[in-house]
A and B are shown apart, each in its own frame.
Chain A
Amino acid sequence: DTEVTQTPKHLVMGMTNKKSLKCEQHMGHRAMYWYKQKAKKPPELMFVYSYEKLSINESVPSRFSPECPNSSLLNLHLHALQPEDSALYLCASSQDRDRGGETQYFGPGTRLLVL
């Protein structure tokens, strides 16, 4: 099973709201990722977690706050977002960040609209 699940599928929020995106995988993968994909653009890496520790932060604004409660779950907490943050947020996982040759498996994404 190579499934990564994400909830919710769609989210509309105001600029003063606080919301969270959730990602889950049960493949035993130890690396998990958040990407942002704007319309007609490729995915751009935001964060990488390896063994439940944040290892890469691609200079993402602090209004995005990732959290990895355990090896199967990855959250992205959203607060005071801007309309330009509207995008598809993708979660991915891979077996082991430090071993060569692993593949990232992507979830279906959460389509976020900030009003």
Chain B
Amino acid sequence: AQSVSQHNHHVILSEAASLELGCNYSYGGTVNLFWYVQYPGQHLQLLLKYFSGDPLVKGIKGFEAEFIKSKFSFNLRKPSVQWSDTAEYFCAVKAGMDSSYKLIFGSGTRLLVRP
């Protein structure tokens, strides 16, 4: 069965620090990968996505992620975080290209950025 692992459950950083959140998935076929963010009291928003092509994907608000197929990883990065990046971050995978469209989410990483 497909699964997504986010090993960092809680991350605390100071403003201007660099961020890397880990995401690993288990699925051997074609995958579409996503990072969603959920700010306090707000709905899930798409940060970025990978479907094909350049494995380095740039998203909104200065976030980027790198798809490394050999490591089954899709880690999220940001060079310099801001207080406003405090949120919960979910990695998700849509496995396969057939008619079964299911987004499988990781357990999430709560990021707290201290001013």
Contact = CB atoms under 8 A, between A and B. Distances in A.
Interface of A: 31, 40-45, 48, 50, 55-56, 58, 90, 94, 97-98, 100-101, 103-109
A101 B33 CA distance: 9
A44 B42 CA distance: 18
Interface string B78-115: 00000000000010000001111111011110000000
B101 A43 contact: no
Given A103-B34, A108-B43, A31 B101 contact: yes
B43 A106 contact: yes
A103 B102 contact: no
B103 A45 contact: yes
Given A41-B107, A42-B108, A94 B101 contact: yes
A101 to B, nearest CB: 4
Contact of B105 (A42, A98, A103, A108): A42
Contact of B44 (A41, A90, A94, A101): A90
Grouping DSSP codes into helix (H, G, I), strand (E, B) and loop, the A interface class, with mixed when no group exceeds half, is loop
Grouping DSSP codes into helix (H, G, I), strand (E, B) and loop, the B interface class, with mixed when no group exceeds half, is loop
A30 to B, nearest CB: 11
Contacts of A106: 36, 43-45
Given A90-B43, A103-B46, A42 B107 contact: yes
B26 to A, nearest CB: 16
Nearest to B92: A42
Given A100-B32, A101-B51, A48 B102 contact: yes
A97 B99 contact: yes
B51 A42 contact: no
Given A42-B90, A42-B108, A101-B32, A107 B101 contact: no
Given A42-B90, A109-B43, A104 B102 contact: no
